[in-house]
Amino acid sequence: MSFKAPSMGSESLSRTPFPKSQTKTRPRIMWVFGILAIVLWAVRGYAWDAGGTQKKVAEDAKTSLQDIVTWDSHSLYVKGERVMIMSGEFHPWRLPVPSLWLDIFQKVKALGFNCISFYSNWALLEGKQGNFSAQGVFSYEPFFEAATQAGIYLIARPGPYINAEVSFGGFPGWLQRIKGQLRTSDKDSLAATDNYISQIGAIIAKAQITNGGPVILYQPENEYTVGVSIPFPNGKYMQYVEDQARNAGIVVPLISNDAAPLGTNAPGTGLGAVDIYGHDAYPVMFDCGNPSTWPPLALSGVYHQTHELQSPSTPFSLLEFQGGAYDPWGGPGFNNCAAFINHEFERVFFKNNFAAGATIHNIYMIFGGTNWGNIGHPGGYTSYDYGAAISEDRSLTREKYSELKLQAQWLKVSPDYLTAEPGPALVWTYANNAAVTVTRLAGNSSAGSGSFFVVRHSDYTSTTSDNYTMKLPTSQGDISVPALFDDLTLHGRDSKIIVTDYDVKGIKLLYSTAEILTHQKFGHMTVLVVYSGASEMNELAVQIKSTTPVISDDSVKVNRTKQLVTLAWPTPETRTVVQIDNFHIYILDRNSAYNYWVPEINKSSSLIVSGPYLVRSASFDNGALSLSADFNRSTVVEVVGAPHNTAVLKINGKATEFKKEEGRIVANVPLSAPLLDIPALSRLSWTYIDSLPEIKAYYDDSTWLAADHKSTNNSYQTMHTPTSLFAGDYGFNAGVLLFRGHFTAKGTEKSFKIKTQGGTAYGHSIWLNDTFLGSWIGSPSASNYEATYELPSLVLGAPYVFTVVIDHMGLDGNYVPGIDTGKAPRGILSYRLSSSIFDSTPITWKLTGNLGGEGYIDHTRGPLNEGGLYAERQGYHLPRPPNEAFTPGPPFSAPRKPGVFFYTAPLLLDLPSTTYDIPLYFSFRNVAGGAVRIQLYVNGWQFGKYVGHIGPQTQFPVPEGILNYNGENWIGLAIWRMEESSDVPVLDFRLEAGEPVLTGRDPVILVESPAWSRRQGAY
């Protein structure tokens, strides 16, 4: 993902943040790519359609390797059943607690989704070339098992390149030293991927549905859409990647995600073509700073027509559709992103996708998680919340989660949608108001299926309300709607799906302007649940022959003819139930509908449950109905459709009293908020150590690596120093970097000029011996900086050493083949120690990063968790360091002088985590005393990178499993002060709790977090 080239002015150009200085030019770039997209779309579409190759894809290509997952032009079939794929993106390595993966799957399943898409991150699995390891939190087998347990399919996306806003786009750092261009058919570039794909491919192959696992689709490569200065698209390269997958045992269909609907590698396009073509779309881009502003030309009205030109033999597939937004360093924060890509965005843009007939629909992200341990790219900070429906702390407090549920549950009970034919977006044809646009998906009349009408504002950005009437084609001829009142209403930034000739378990709705949540048949009783927004009138007509009186209250107007019952009503404040014989219609307002869940009780039936914060699952066995559910308040739980012989109700395994009413059972679940004993961090027994001994006179760097490479394989950056000072050339690919430059003074040196590079928001500090020269404190847009520092008088012939500390913010993505931007080095780009106008003093350099570099020490926490700070190299950030040798003292009032100090303390917790799901956050408030960078460690895991003067992140969630909620924890802070401070530096550092939720999730299992032991060779 990232760098989204637009189509027809609708898709976004880039998810990699532009420097602020470039924001004014970004729209122009968007238009250029938009025009390019239109031209390529037209040319390719004409050529392919004229040749007929798309429409003649051989049937045996679909089933030659397996016959479990097949497809036609409408949708996938799984085991012979036509299915709608509603999917969300979730990366297990962004939640490094395997026992919590089921929690995410259950929350996705509860929406009505049936699939998760995931990237695997090569950088975490092969940190050293040839040493592939997928163990512990990096193991995928528990992920597959959790998906299977929850009943979720998987779309595997292992790359080799993933982008994903991670360092180097998921490439391991050692690829910086590959001579060939990455993501091309250069031999050394291809060969470098072999071990990874053979290993991860084999792991995924074992989990394919053909082997009883959950994987139904496999995506080779990622957004292979735009190339520069090379032949593109490169069919040879794509075919190589696809052959790698097949050779590893992948037999499920290969699907693509073009970064825009350009038809790249679509079936029938030759070498490198995939089985199923799909593309991405991030239509409103990423301006979270203006969450109420939707840009013009963002909503595509030609998705279906484009798809028919490019890949008519495959389902319309959106492999990444915008479900949130990234936020860069210095951005407004992810709460703004959640407000930007909110429930209104879902109503308008997701329903527009359904209007185009999308039947493989993956939302990026459904849960973002955390860029812990230097995983992230330099364009983003520790949080990867993404403004997603499920927050970084796994809570469900955003309205967009509930809106998703309404849409997904409707799709689950509307199988005719999968074969309905999308038409054009029209004004004046179905609605009488030009402010309203309607797209019809026409049903198969020979099969008796009805139509779906997606209604939206013609100006999709509109925040006004418009009244309209409709003329709907039905099996009874064209009918005018509404029949019993004057107008329908479409509120601002809303969209509706109106149905005609809609089947409700054998009962036909001639039409409904109210939207459908679900319908279920329970014995002789059929229940339909409909909902609408506030201040609306709606109408529904049922074709039914019964002469039994309609049971309703006065809020619903009823009109009855020989075979049609028409109901009209204003949106109710409380639920209204209309009964026509054994047909029960539940009429809700939208906010009430949010509280409804439709858990599957077996493969053929579901319940309708209202009340809980979350319903994870339901089962019925031998008279006992069991619900697994979460509660955030005292709740009345209603179960519609409970088996008539229900004798016992168990909620989270506990027998619960209930009463039976007509067609349902009702129970009360009381909840008292638990008393949480959250320790004040100021009361912990803190100790500290100087983590920058390198500036002391006694420091010995004889064991450091000599920066003695006289050349580099780096194809992106020209070397401007006598020897390479690119950290990647020496195997240091993450975390803080340290350089020590030794020289013998000529006595005439006056200044030291140096250019460093660490990625956006990075910073550096420089000492001459123990004299602080200064810092570049960083900015949200600068990835490198050149500075000149005045020197004190130097003694002729005396030895000196510069110590340069550089914050490595991750490697850039490598999105565009032919440029290799990911090889942009971290370290020192140039320097000059001037001894005269024409002369400079030579410097001999050494460097270090994490202990062992690519031969990293901590295999539990992986290759990216540590950097080069002294405390990290010694392992003092791990639990139970030898702090008896440290100095007692807290971090809340730190030394005024620049430097790096490491603080650590034990933290004991005793929380009711077996009963409650309790979000915990470490927060930094009111940090004063000059620019400061802080790294937070929790039981050895780096879970926060705080840069106060850039921001925006000040609160860092840490999941249970990393934190021991019932026992000892060790907290570490590496505090890097970058400026002299006349004031006493102050740090307000707290542990805070979010809302506790009474939970039905499985107990959390602590991840392995090895404690400190003396590291051999540590320096």
Provide the H-helix boundaries in 261-302: none
- At residue 1000, what are phi and psi to the nearest 5 degrees? -105, 10
Q: Let me know: does 769 contact 800? Beta carbons within 8 Å.
A: yes
Going from the C-alpha of 221 to that of each of 244, 426, 829, the distances in angstroms are 11, 37, 32
Is the sign of the CA dihedral 725, 727, 728, 730 positive or negative? positive
Of the CA atoms within 13 Å of residue 816, those in its CB half-sphere come to 16
- 822/733 Cα distance (integer angstroms): 11
Structure tokens at 948: 């106060």
Q: Which of 183, 226, 353 is nearest to 282 (CA)?
A: 353
One DSSP character per residue, 628-667 reads EEEBSS-EEEEEET--TT--EEEETTEE---EEETTEEEE
Candidate list 242, 320, 872, 960, residue with the active-site label: 320
Q: Let me know: does 319 contact 117? Beta carbons within 8 Å.
A: yes
**Spacing of C-alpha 814 from chain mean position:** 19
H or E element at residue 38:
helix 26-51
* AA identity, residue 55: K
Maximum pairwise Cα distance, the chain: 110
One DSSP character per residue, 346-382 reads IIIIIHHHHHTT-SEEEEE-SB--B--TT-B-TTS-S
Task: Classify residue 83 as left (phi > 0), alpha (psi -120 to 50) or beta.
Answer: beta
Q: Which of 263, 355, 270, 360 is nearest to 69 (CA)?
A: 360
223 is annotated as an active-site residue = yes
- 809/328 Cα distance (integer angstroms): 12
- 136/822 Cα distance (integer angstroms): 28
Rg, C-alpha atoms of the chain: 30
**Spacing of C-alpha 519 from chain mean position:** 31
- At residue 92, what are phi and psi to the nearest 5 degrees? -60, -30
- 12/324 Cα distance (integer angstroms): 13
Q: Let me know: does 621 contact 606? Beta carbons within 8 Å.
A: no
Going from the C-alpha of 586 to that of each of 227, 508, 519, 618, the distances in angstroms are 54, 16, 10, 21
Going from the C-alpha of 341 to that of each of 318, 359, 473, 701, the distances in angstroms are 17, 21, 34, 51
Contacts of 482 (CB under 8 A, 6+ apart): 469, 488, 513, 537, 538, 539, 568
Is the sign of the CA dihedral 443, 472, 458, 113 positive or negative? negative
Structure tokens at 722: 């006598």
Please tell me what DSSP assigns to residue 233: S
- 24/542 Cα distance (integer angstroms): 55
Q: Which of 825, 822, 849, 710 is nearest to 756 (CA)?
A: 825
* AA identity, residue 110: A
- 379/735 Cα distance (integer angstroms): 15
N-to-C CA span, the chain: 39
Candidate list 11, 89, 126, 223, residue with the active-site label: 223
SS3 (DSSP) at 93: helix
Q: Let me know: does 39 contact 45? Beta carbons within 8 Å.
A: no
Going from the C-alpha of 934 to that of each of 375, 486, 801, the distances in angstroms are 16, 62, 26
**Spacing of C-alpha 528 from chain mean position:** 34
Q: Which residues are catalytic?
A: 223, 320
